[in-house]
Every structure is written in C-alpha cells, then in structure tokens.
Amino acid sequence: MNRSQHILGSGLVFAVGIWVAWVSYTQQPAEAFLFPRLIASVFVVLAGWTFGKAVMGLSKVGSGISRTMFLNMVPGLAVMLVYVFWAAKALGFYTATAIGFFILLSLYDPAPHSEGKTWLRRALITAVFVAVMYGLFAKLLSVYTPREILF
Amino acid sequence: MEFIYYFGDVFSPLSFLLLLGGTIGGLILGATPGLSPTMAVALLIPFTFHLEAVQGLILLGAAYTSTVAGGAVSAILLKIPGAPANIATTLDGHKMAKQGQGAKALQLSFLASAAGGIFGVLLLIFLTPLLAEWALAFGPSHLFWLAILGVTVIGSLDSASVVKGLLSGCIGLWLATIGFDDIMGAQRFIFHPSLGGGINIIAALIGLFAIPQVLTMFAKGRRTEGAEVIEVQKHSVLDATRELLRRPRALGIGTITGSVIGLIPGVGGQIAGLVAYDQTKKFSSEKEKFGKGHSEGVIAAEAANNAMVGPSLVPLLTLSIPGSPTAAVLLGGLLIHGIFPGSDLFDNHPDVAWTFINSMLVGQVLMCLFGLYVAGLAARVAQVPQSVMAAIVLALSVFGAYSVQSSMGDVYVMACLGIGMYFLERFGFSAAPLVLGLILGPIAEANFIQGGMIADATVGKASYFLSGGLNIFLIAVVVASVAYSAWMELRTRRYTTKEEAQA
C-alpha cells in the first residue's frame, strides 16, 4: 500500500543526509565541521540503508498515510500553516488565535452545522479560550506578543 | 540523608502551590486521551521561565508523576489509556468498571500508584548521590560516549525499527549543530534567518511532541467520540486500602518491576506496566481471573508505571541520560535554567536537586489524595471533543514557543519540526531519539572537541577515545543495546512473517 510513500519519505531523509554530508565536508573552517562530519557519515549510511530498503519494498515499520487521513488532515493543516506563518504576526496573536480556533472547531466539531445552537456554543468556547490565554500569557506571564489589530 | 535538610523547602507557599497545581492539572491532563505526559510536560516548560529553577522543576515533576497516574482514569472509565503507560491498566480496570467496581478500580490504581511511586522516589533518593559521585571520575571521552549511549539506547530500544531509531537520533544530533560553532564562530547549516541562533530546545520539544498529536487529531476528521464514561459508584477508601494490602504479591511485583525497568534508559512505562502485569499473572494463584476484572491486574500495572518515574530520573540526574522521553523533556527544563545534571547539580545546587526530589515524594501522596476526588472530573475532561483539544494544543504550542524568547523564528521552527515529525512518525521514525540527539548533541560535541584537544597533546584521538576500561565498557553497552534491539526486531519480524504465512 505505502511502498511509494516509504520511498518518498526515506528518499527525502536520504537527500537531507547527502546535503548535510556535502556541507560538512566542503565548508570551511574544517575544524568547525569536525563533529558534523562524524554525524553526517553515520546519517548518510543509515539514511541510504533505509532508502534502499524502501526501494526494495522491505520497509515494514510505519503505516504511512491513508487517503482518508490525508484528506481529513489537509483543512486543519492549511489553517495551522496560515495561522502560524501569516496570521499570528499579521493580525496579532489573540485575533489570529480567536479566528483560527473558531475555524478549527467548526471544521472538526462533529456537532451538526445546521443548528444555530452549535455555532453559538463554538463562539462561546472560542471566546472563553482566548480570554483564558490572554489572562495567562498577557497578564500572568507578561509575554508581549505581536498585537496588530484589535488586541 | 542530605535530602531531609531540604524537606521544608517543598512546603514554602509558592512551591507547595505549584506542586498542588501541577498534581491536579497533571491528573486532568493525564486522563485526557491524546495528551501524553511528555507533551504535557513540554507544554508546561514555557510557564517555568518566570519561576526559580527549583519551582519550575517542582511543577514539571508534579506534572510528570500525576499525568502517568491520571492516565488510569480514562483507561478504567473509558477503556482509552490516557498514556501508553496505562495500556495494561485497561485490561482489568475497565472490566472492573463495567462490573460496577469503577470506584474501587480507581482507588486501587491511585493507592498502588502512590505505593509504587514512593518506592521509586526512595530509590532515586538513595541511588542518585552514589552515581553522581561515580560520575566525577568521567573525563571528556567518557562523557562523549555517554551522550552517544543516551541517543543510541533510546534510538534502538524505544523504536520499532532500530535503523530508523538510530537515524532519528542522527537527525537530532545534526539539528543540534545548526547555528554558530562555539569555538570558531563559524556558521553551520543556517539556511534560514530563523536558525541564526540555532534551534531552541524548548521550541523544538513543543513542536516535536505537541504538533504531531494535533495533526493526528486532525487526521481523524469529524469523528463523533464513541467513548462513554461509566458512572462511578461510591466505594470506601478503607476497603480499597485493605484490598491493596491483601495483594502484596501484585504490589511487590509491580513496584520492583517498574523500578528496575525505570533504571534502564529508554524503556518506558508502557513496558513496565505490561511486564508487571504479565509477571503478576504468572505468579498468581488466580490466573484465570486476569482480564476479567481482577484487582491484581490493576494494582500491578499501576504500581509499575508509577514506580518507574523516580528511577527513570536516576540516569538523568547523574549521567545526563534520560530514562524516558518525559525525562528528556525534564532535562531540557534543567538546562534552560543553566543547571547541568551530575555532580554539578548535587555539589552546586543541592537545594534545587533535593527540593525537586522531595517534592516528587510529597507529590505522590498528593496525587493519591486528589486522584480519588479529581477522577470524576478528569473523566469528564477526557470526553472533551478532539476538535477542541487539537485547537487548544495548537494555540498553546504557538504561545509557548513564542514566549521562550519572544521570537517568531522559534514559532516557525516549532511548526516546521512538528509537521516534519508527524510525517516521519508515519514512516516509523521516532521523536524520542530525535529529541535526545538534540539535547545531548551539544554535550557530545563539546566533549568530542575537548577530548580531541587533550588527545592531540597526549596519546592521539584513536587511543584516547577507544581505549581505557570505562570507554570500552560504554562502547560495549552502545553496541550491545543496538545488537539486542536488532535481534529482537528480526525475531519479531520472523514471527510476524510466520503468522502471516500461516494466515
């Protein structure tokens, strides 16, 4: 089922290993790369072994990702990427958290979307959660997070 | 008996409050399926920045102890182990709950956890100073091999595939070299500005343990949770205590098995619980009752998984080798406060070391007292939909990673490592050796460089690193752990293939 997935996964790790080894053995000053060279050598051998096994279809450990799992995960992962890499800084942590939290809740909450009560509950949970986070981080721990719009 | 001098410090108002909060919070978090003790402790680390080192460790230690015990609540009432360490508890615990003995099972689990846990912490108290003294004899070559030992033992024993476990360790060791080299000041592997200061251990810990859990919850989709909480009827604690005392064999086997397994780096509570359960069944005169709701099964499993907590910290506090993934996270908690395990900890920070260890002793008692009352609430929390849990963990991860040094770079590193780890885990790689590599990498490199300098001025590198009784012993342990794991893996494969062939 997941032979091609294993090839892709272990191939990527092998590619990283080759890059690490190449950088370790070519960059200067050599003394600074003594320890990375040691690691890179073992890294490449193990990654090559893993990749070879995957190519020959001998990879047994790890069940890969099924189509259903992947499709289930994609919307959440997309929200997460937008939240972490753009919204948190552009909109401010608390605004982005409120929006991201509400979207995730709506995407994965098994309660029916057609009921008004469900949406109200989701909004209430989001508001309470963001208030707790604000109290915890802004007030108690005095962590100054980016605040672009609202708060 | 030095620990007695610092016993009073546990009861200073803030320390005791943190111990109480960590214990109750840990019980609730532990009962929540999907929130592993390791992840709970990793998410708590950012909250310890504003605390003194000892108070931060008290909070983390309390959470570690009680999340393991709290996992029994969902194991018994929902048949979902709160943590891998509670798998064995479900076998008889849930059956007891279904037979209307849920309260009794919970009481027995907390009483056995406390008994096992106290024994484990006593081992920690008496073994740690001895090993710390011994660690004084270690030179750079030994410390280098110890760091490698830490990565290889967990890499080989904690992973389903030895090669992938070791490869995970290598990835962690490589990640630890990113940033500026300490001696030459050269840039290494800085392919993005966020990596200029290297990879922050705390941000990495949060990402590696929390984000894969979030993605796992996403991957389940809009699933309605089918777990149903079994109502708990009242049961006398005194009767449960009598029952526990009537089963000294199960309690003894669980406690000793857990303690011994805890001392072996890399072997977690999951194995402790299952081995103790199996051994208790073998020696029991009521073998046929196991798996049908027998109290001995619950007692053995819970005594074992909590007895391993204390001993798992012995190699951590003396030799910097964490006995479990959660202990690895605790090591990160120590290092961010500038405290290094080993003789430095006991010679220069005895107040930190002993107050922390004593707090774990008091924490076991608090865990037992509150566990019985929090169990009902914890079971309700365990029913919180995964959608809510995933969103909460994601937001906590982002805020936690940012608060380390108020840097968006740490948040990006946390997210990238977490997403990468999720996919690696799906292909059989493991987070624990990767984290170990990341934490022990700087220790291994510093001692490799220092040892290299000594070697160049004396006997040469090969002779310095590969000869001498202690070096040879450590290398032998590295080789033995890898060989043993490879043999076990091959044997399991062979059995699997045979079963597959028969099927």
- Three-class SS of B267-325: CCHHHHHHHHHHHHHHHCCCHHHCCCCCHHHHHHHHHHHHHCHHHHCHHHHHHCCCCCH
| pLDDT surpassing 90 at residue A103 | yes
3-state secondary structure A100-145: HHHHHHHHHCCCCCCCHHHHHHHHHHHHHHHHHHHHHHHHHCCCCC
Q: Count of CB contacts below 8 A, A vs B?
A: 188
Under 8 Å CB-to-CB from B373, ≥6 apart: which residues?
none
Q: What is the mean pLDDT of residues B469-476?
A: 85
For residue range B41-86, list pLDDT tens digits in order: 888 887 887 788 888 888 888 888 888 778 888 778 777 777 767 7
Question: Are residues A105 and B170, on separate chains, in Cβ contact within 8 Å?
Answer: no
Q: What's the confidence (pLDDT) of residue B419?
A: 94
A9, A46, A93 member nearest B427 (Cβ): A9
Q: Is residue B4 part of a domain?
A: no
DSSP B98: I
How high is the mean pLDDT of chain A? 86
| pLDDT surpassing 60 at residue B499 | no
| pLDDT surpassing 60 at residue A74 | yes
Q: What is the mean pLDDT of residues B473-483?
A: 83
Q: What's the confidence (pLDDT) of residue B500?
A: 47
Q: Are B393 and B213 in contact (CB under 8 A)?
A: yes
| pLDDT surpassing 70 at residue B33 | no
**Minimal CA separation from A98 to chain B, in Å:** 9
Question: Are residues B444 and A35, on separate chains, in Cβ contact within 8 Å?
Answer: yes
B186, B411, B424 member nearest A84 (Cβ): B411
Q: What's the confidence (pLDDT) of residue B267?
A: 58
Which position has the higher pLDDT, B452 or A78? A78
| pLDDT surpassing 70 at residue B451 | yes
Q: What is the mean pLDDT of residues A32-55?
A: 89
Query: Phi and psi at residue B189, in whole multiples of 5°?
Result: 55, 30
Q: Are B42 and B209 in contact (CB under 8 A)?
A: yes
A33-42, B251-260, B340-349: which has the minimum mean pLDDT? B340-349
Q: What's the confidence (pLDDT) of residue B442?
A: 84
Q: What's the confidence (pLDDT) of residue B266?
A: 58
How high is the mean pLDDT of chain B? 80
**ipTM for this model:** 0.91
A42, A89, A141 member nearest B403 (Cβ): A141
What are the residue ranges spanned by the domains of chain A? 3-55, 67-140
Question: Are residues B218 and A72, on separate chains, in Cβ contact within 8 Å?
Answer: yes
Q: What is the mean pLDDT of residues B199-212?
A: 85
Q: Is residue B3 part of a domain?
A: no
Alpha carbon distance A147, A140 (integer Å): 17
Under 8 Å CB-to-CB from A73, ≥6 apart: which residues?
A65, B215, B218, B219
The conformational region for residue B290 under phi > 0 = left, psi -120 to 50 = alpha, else beta, is beta
∠ CA B226-B228-B232, rounded to 5°:
170
A41-45, A102-106, A142-146, B139-143: which has the minimum mean pLDDT? A142-146
Q: Are B161 and A61 in contact (CB under 8 A)?
A: yes
Question: Are residues B398 and A84, on separate chains, in Cβ contact within 8 Å?
Answer: yes
Q: What is the mean pLDDT of residues A56-84?
A: 86
B40-54, B268-282, B448-462: which has the minimum mean pLDDT? B268-282
A60, A84, A97 member nearest B415 (Cβ): A84
Chain A CB within 8 Å of residue B390 CB: yes
Give the domain extent around B423: 9-502
Which position has the higher pLDDT, B276 or B420? B420
**Minimal CA separation from A117 to chain B, in Å:** 17
**Minimal CA separation from B6 to chain A, in Å:** 28
Number of domains observed in the structure of chain B:
1
Q: Is residue B1 part of a domain?
A: no
| pLDDT surpassing 70 at residue A149 | no
pLDDT grade, residue B132 (50/70/90)?
A: low
Q: Are B150 and B265 in contact (CB under 8 A)?
A: yes
3-state secondary structure of A64: coil
- Residues from chain A that touch B189, judged by Cβ atoms under 8 A, are 20, 23, 36
| pLDDT surpassing 50 at residue B503 | no
Q: What is the mean pLDDT of residues A10-36?
A: 89
- Residues from chain A that touch B465, judged by Cβ atoms under 8 A, are none
Which position has the higher pLDDT, B374 or B296? B296
Q: What is the mean pLDDT of residues A81-104?
A: 90
Closest residue, chain B, to A43 (C-alpha): B170
Question: Are residues B174 and A32, on separate chains, in Cβ contact within 8 Å?
Answer: no
Chain A CB within 8 Å of residue B419 CB: yes
